Amino acid sequence: MISEERIIMEAKLSNIEKKIGVTFKNKDLLQQAFVHRSYLNENKDFRLDHNERLEFLGDACLELIVTDYLYNNFPNPEGELTNWRAALVRGAMISQIAKKLGYEDYLLLSRGEAKSTGRARELILANTFEAVLGAVYLDKGYKAADKLVKKHLLPRLPEILDKKLYNDPKSMFQEVVQEKTGITPVYKLEHEEGPDHAKVFTMAVFVGEKRITEGKGYSKQIAEQEAAQKAIEIWAETLE
């Protein structure tokens, strides 16, 4: 007899498949994509592993798919294409796509992580987007993964180009600050957490002695870019 919990889970997985337009042969791969490490700390007998290996694979798939698309559709030089790709695959962008697809409703998190909001939840959603992509690649192959990215992520490219969202945030913020104050922004590590293979860094950006804001990421560079992007948006307010 199938348990009620299993019936609910199968219904959820079916809903996800409809959202992304992929029917899995191995449903466990799809479910695993939504398993956060913290969930296993409170559910040690859960039959599946967490999603970090799928995320690792999906990250590589995402970069290849976006790179292939840009290379074959735009004659621009390598430097410009690199900036466009970075804008498309950055955490803030793919977390928006994950949220739009409703991934948040299917996350398996610890009670503590379930209460997370803001940047912490954004990181979880971005990682889940990559994990789902990795699962699609394993179950259905490259073409299915390519189709998923082209349907849900690449339509954001015109907006990125129109609004010049591909500009390097650190360079942009430095240019603005130096023009107004003559000071070069400085980034400082404030905190790091998590296991060695999945550390999250918190970098703060300062203008002189004034702390403007912070950013988080799985590398110091990503965290600095996040901090710079946020600083650009609030810079005028901090000077008041």
What is the gyration radius of the CA atoms in the chain, in angstroms?
A: 20
Instruction: Quote the distance between the C-alpha of residue 136 and its chain's center.
Output: 17
Cα(67)–Cα(84) distance, rounded to whole angstroms? 9
- What torsion, rounded to 10 degrees, do the Cα atoms 16, 17, 20, 26 define? 110
- Catalytic residue positions, numbered: 59, 130
Angle of helix 118-140 relative to helix 52-73, nearest 10 degrees, comes to 80
| Token reading at 66 | 């976006």
* Neighbouring C-alpha atoms within 13 Å toward the C-beta of 74: 17
CA distances to 109, 131, 138 from 55, rounded to whole Å, are 16, 4, 12
Q: How many CB atoms are located within 10 Å of the residue 116 CB?
A: 16
